[in-house]
């Protein structure tokens, strides 16, 4: 891993922690943007320039703008004062630990002999990368590509249907929370 790789990794980790531990969702969102940009940097370090740019365009340019939009529209304050308690964070840390503890040894066992940087250093020089990815997507993966476009279309339609105001609003159940409309 190069120097830049370490820099981006550190940023990504710090920002990831920021996402989880910021009380204000808007700060979480900004942290996530930083994290996503750091990931784009990591892709770049790994030689996937096209993906790096796509990452910026799709995640930073579209998805996170949408999230910010929603956050600003709803104008939410920090999470309500209710205390987290002690059990939940502990259990959550247990989750995190167990994910890492179960997967990492298996992966390490799988890959410890293989050195990454010795492999195919100049695989995607210049614009060969974009061209090669294009040929993969429009060649072997054409069906999946078309399907994913269909998924996007359905997503758009679904989002519109969901956020359209309906004439009949099914209110919260009796005794449920947030009774006022």
Residue 154 C-beta: closest distance to other proteins, Å: 7
Cβ atoms of 24 and 78 within 8 Å: the answer is yes
Cβ atoms of 39 and 13 within 8 Å: the answer is no
Measured between alpha carbons, how far is 43 from 80 in angstroms, rounded to an integer? Answer: 37
Residue 20's contacts (CB-CB under 8 Å, 6 or more residues apart) are 28
Within a 10 A sphere around the Cβ of 139, how many other Cβ atoms?
Answer: 9
Each residue 27-46 as x (binds other proteins by CB under 8 A) or -, in order, gives xxxx-xx-xxx-x--xx--x
Residue 92 C-beta: closest distance to other proteins, Å: 4
Using CB under 8 A as the binding rule, whether residue 142 contacts other proteins is answered as no
Task: Return the residues of window 55-84 that contact other proteins according to CB under 8 A.
Answer: 55-63, 65-74, 76, 79-80, 84
Measured between alpha carbons, how far is 42 from 51 in angstroms, rounded to an integer? Answer: 10
Each residue 7-26 as x (binds other proteins by CB under 8 A) or -, in order, gives --x--xx--xx-xx----xx
Count residues contacting other proteins (CB under 8 A)?
119
Using CB under 8 A as the binding rule, whether residue 53 contacts other proteins is answered as yes
Cα dist from 3 to 22, 55, 71, 115, whole Å: 28, 21, 35, 17
CA dihedral of residues 54, 55, 57, 59 (deg, nearest 10): 140
Task: Return the residues of window 152-181 that contact other proteins according to CB under 8 A.
Answer: 152, 154-156, 158-160, 162-163, 165, 169-173, 176-178, 180-181
Judged by beta carbon, residue 116 or residue 167, the one nearer other proteins is 116
Using CB under 8 A as the binding rule, whether residue 102 contacts other proteins is answered as yes
Measured between alpha carbons, how far is 133 from 31 in angstroms, rounded to an integer? Answer: 30
Residue 88 C-beta: closest distance to other proteins, Å: 6
Task: Return the residues of window 105-134 that contact other proteins according to CB under 8 A.
Answer: 106-108, 111-112, 114-117, 119-120, 123-130, 132-133
């Amino acid at each position: 891993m190069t120097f830049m790789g370490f820099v981006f990794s550190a940023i990504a980790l710090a920002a990831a922690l920021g996402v989880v531990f910021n009380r204000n969702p808007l700060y979480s969102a900004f942290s996530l943007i930083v994290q996503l940009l750091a990931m784009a940097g990591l892709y770049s370090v790994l030689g996937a320039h096209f993906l790096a740019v796509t990452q910026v365009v799709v995640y930073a340019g579209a998805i996170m703008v949408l999230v910010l939009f929603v956050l600003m529209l709803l104008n939410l304050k920090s999470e309500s004062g209710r205390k987290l308690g002690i059990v939940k964070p502990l259990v959550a840390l247990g989750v995190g630990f167990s994910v890492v503890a179960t997967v990492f040894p298996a992966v390490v066992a799988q890959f410890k002999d293989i050195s990454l940087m010795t492999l195919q250093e100049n695989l995607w020089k210049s614009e060969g990368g974009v061209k090669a990815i294009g040929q993969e997507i429009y060649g072997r993966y054409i069906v999946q590509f078309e399907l994913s476009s269909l998924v996007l279309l359905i997503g758009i339609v679904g989002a519109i249907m969901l956020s359209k105001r309906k004439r009949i609003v099914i209110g919260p159940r009796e005794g449920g929370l947030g009774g006022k409309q």
